[in-house]
Amino acid sequence: MSIPVLHADAVDVVRNGRLLLDQVSLTVEAGEHWVLLGPNGAGKSTLLSLFGAVTHPTRGSVEVLGHRLGRVDLHELRSHLGHVNPRHTPLSRKLTARDVVLTGATNTLEPVPLWSPTTEQAARADHLTGLLGLAHRHDALWTDLLQGERGRTLIARALMPDPRLLLLDEPASGLDIAGREQLIERIDLLQRDHEHLSTVLVTHHLEEIPPGTTHAMLLREGSCLSAGPITEVLTGDRISACFSHPIRLSRNSSRWTASSTPLSRM
């Protein structure tokens, strides 16, 4: 029996006396692609921070790649994860897109002094920049990249150590339609290119769910309303309850859209 990539059991998170997560449980197996959905303040990013070995639960247990939080070196564990935060900002304004991707090999924000990538690391950086649609921006400065290009650069960076788990915290935040679609297209491609990779993506927009997403969890006020295969979880009734608003769902070519349903039709 294989060890789950992620396993959270009855997790509570309390910060400053406030209950952010309430008895949340979730298991992610190898090759599964999850989306965490819910309104602002639902606890999505808090749960992702546990999966990224950034914080500990107040109660309950979390196992990441078979290691239980509280019994493992978090820095070492994080080196085996790909955690993408769109608010990541390299300290140097002179880094190129390729420089940023290569920092994923050393798990640092900036290049390590006197460090040079191996031939294999350099080739992987080139492969990943191409996979994320950035081959033509290889030598562009970070400060000259569009926001969508920065997001895809950070995903390439996170994939440098060939992690088994990729965590994406609202990667399409602030993007225009073209930037969002380019990002989703590349996430879908990398999911198909890395068949053993598991992903967990946080969003509150159904339109941002990549086509290859297999499972979903709905969160509201720190509690799990539903979790499981995406076609079973994403129903009009459940999404409406999650967001406290009458919502109608539609799906076309594995992409989801949502629209408001007039109260008189509910």
Domains and CATH numbers, the chain: 1-80+164-266 (3.40.50.300), 88-162 (no CATH)
Kindly tell me the burial class for residue 138, based on how many C-beta atoms sit within 10 Å of its own C-beta (0-12, 13-18, 19 or more).
Answer: middle
Tens-digit pLDDT string for the chain (266 aa)? 678 999 999 999 999 999 999 999 999 999 999 999 999 999 999 999 999 998 899 999 999 999 999 888 888 888 888 988 766 666 677 899 999 999 999 888 888 888 999 999 999 999 999 999 999 998 999 989 998 899 899 999 999 999 999 999 998 888 899 989 999 999 998 888 888 899 999 998 999 999 999 999 999 999 999 999 999 999 999 999 999 999 999 998 789 998 886 655 54
Contact indicator for 33, 191 with CB cutoff of 8 Å: yes
Contact indicator for 22, 11 with CB cutoff of 8 Å: no
- Across 26-45, b (16+ Cβ under 10 Å) vs e yields bebeeebbbbbbbeeebbbb
Contact indicator for 165, 66 with CB cutoff of 8 Å: no
SS3 content of the chain, % helix, strand, coil (to 5): 35, 30, 40
Distance CA 170, CA 85 (A): 8
